[in-house]
Amino acid sequence: MSLKVVKFGGSSLADAGQMKKAADIIRADADRRYVVPSAPGKRFSADTKVTDLLYRCYDLAEKGENFSAVLEEIQSRYNEIISGLGVDFSIDADIREIEENFRKRAGRDYAASRGEYLNGKVFAAYLGFQFVDAAEVIFFREDGSLNQEKTSESLRKALDGVAYAVIPGFYGCGADGYVRTFSRGGSDVTGSIVAGAVRANLYENWTDVSGFLVADPRIIDKPAPIRTITYTELRELSYMGASVLHEEAIFPVRSAGIPINIRNTNDPSAPGTMIVPESHDEEVSAYTITGLAGKKNFMAINLHKDRMNSQIGFCRDVLDVLAENGVCIEHMPSSIDSMTVIIDHAQIAGKEDEIMTQIRKRVNPDDLYLEDGIALVAVVGRGMCRTRGVAARIFAALAHARINVKMIDQGSSELNVIVGVNEEDFEQAIRCIYDMFVNAAEVSR
């Protein structure tokens, strides 16, 4: 028998109707044994997530203001779900306890975690599964990082002999014994931790989209879906802005070699996207590339100095200045007598003049200037390293679209090509590369 851990996001559990869909999915496969729910999310676009209501409620409590109206709103969200599901369950005692703890200033993390806690209890009652409080099985260290050993051990112990259980997402227990949460969207991480600890065969992450798309649907009309992607490719694409899964969610399953399947609660027959270890990548995309993503708001620091190449430590000195100012760099293309450092604008905003002065003092360049308004486009695909002419096609597409390329970077793994263009050309760059690889492949099929 195989074992699946299934995580349902907030929109998949936003009301009783959505919860029923999730429960049908769980019941359709006896291998779906451990369920990790988020708190109820938005039912419609102007709606408020329960987690945000909890933050709002606690902020009032902390200021000593009256928070009963917001707490009632939260309670009625759950009561609507409970009555919609027709389950014999009450959260009244829990709400009273939460109210008391808010008055005692139990902390913002405790407050936010109650969304998952209550939802987990309601969902467990509806499914007839055992409820396992995440505060008893997920542990953080003093520095806020996950205590992997203690967590895995506790999870295994708590789930030993338990056929079906619900473990709420998003929170655990801090080193001081108080509830702590992951960053927003952190139920994805909980699901991954549970899957890793129980050595699941698959981690299914149910959300409101049918997986990852080759490109951003705000730029490309109905982009093709990504059927299979490796963990490494996903890291590259997520870093460049493709977001479906919490950034930290791949690590616990990756180390155990467990694939993640992103699925759509509103379209359960769609296969979604499989995120697989590098060793399972037999099925390479028909388009050669796996995905395309990008971001605006980058800046370039351009330096020129005659005979820079023979000056030992030149690049290091420039990077030292940036490091001393707490600036993280993205790329560093160079030539014999010049170098460019590409930086996310937010990293350097407000410190530009100071940093330029320090660089000037440290390396005395012949020329030094800042260039703003740069966008980066990442073309990602494990199929690229086995295929000749990929770079040629990327640059031919850009040239035909009359887009000037300001920077090129190809990682040594040949997994991605990163191109820097002017921000005004960003959308067009994505479109023409998409056309070249995806639309052209569709036509020739």
- Binding-site ranges for ligand ASP (CB under 6 A): 10, 38-39, 49, 51, 115, 169-170, 184-187
CB of 38 to ligand ASP, least distance (A): 3
CB of 115 to ligand ASP, least distance (A): 5
Between 39 and 378, name the residue whose CB sits nearer to ligand ASP: 39
Q: What's the number of CA atoms in the CB half-sphere (13 Å) around residue 77?
A: 28
Q: How far apart are the first and last CA of the chain?
A: 39
Looking only at the bridges linking them, the beta strands covering 202-207 and 291-304 are: unpaired
> Residue 222 gets which letter from DSSP?
S
CB of 278 to ligand ASP, least distance (A): 27
d(CA 26, CA 163): 13
CB of 134 to ligand ASP, least distance (A): 12
| Residue 370 tokens, joined | 């800042």
Helix axes 148-159, 187-197, angle to 10 degrees: 70
| Nearest CA among 105, 81, 73 for reference residue 20 | 81
CB of 46 to ligand ASP, least distance (A): 16
Between 207 and 261, name the residue whose CB sits nearer to ligand ASP: 207
Between 107 and 115, name the residue whose CB sits nearer to ligand ASP: 115
CB of 186 to ligand ASP, least distance (A): 5
The size of the chain, in residues, is 445
CB of 243 to ligand ASP, least distance (A): 12
d(CA 42, CA 352): 40
d(CA 123, CA 125): 5
Task: Decide: 57 and 69 in contact? Cβ < 8 Å.
Answer: no
SS3 track for 59-128: HHHHCCCCCHHHHHHHHHHHHHHHHHHCCCCCCHHHHHHHHHHHHCCCCHHHHHHHHHHHHHHHHHHHHC
CB of 120 to ligand ASP, least distance (A): 11
Between 115 and 120, name the residue whose CB sits nearer to ligand ASP: 115
Between 187 and 261, name the residue whose CB sits nearer to ligand ASP: 187
Between 33 and 49, name the residue whose CB sits nearer to ligand ASP: 49
CB of 206 to ligand ASP, least distance (A): 12
For the purposes of burial, counting CB atoms within 10 Å of the CB of 307, is it exposed (0-12), middle (13-18) or buried (19 or more)?
A: exposed
Between 265 and 285, name the residue whose CB sits nearer to ligand ASP: 265
Between 40 and 223, name the residue whose CB sits nearer to ligand ASP: 40
d(CA 116, CA 123): 10
Task: Decide: 131 and 158 in contact? Cβ < 8 Å.
Answer: no
Between 147 and 187, name the residue whose CB sits nearer to ligand ASP: 187
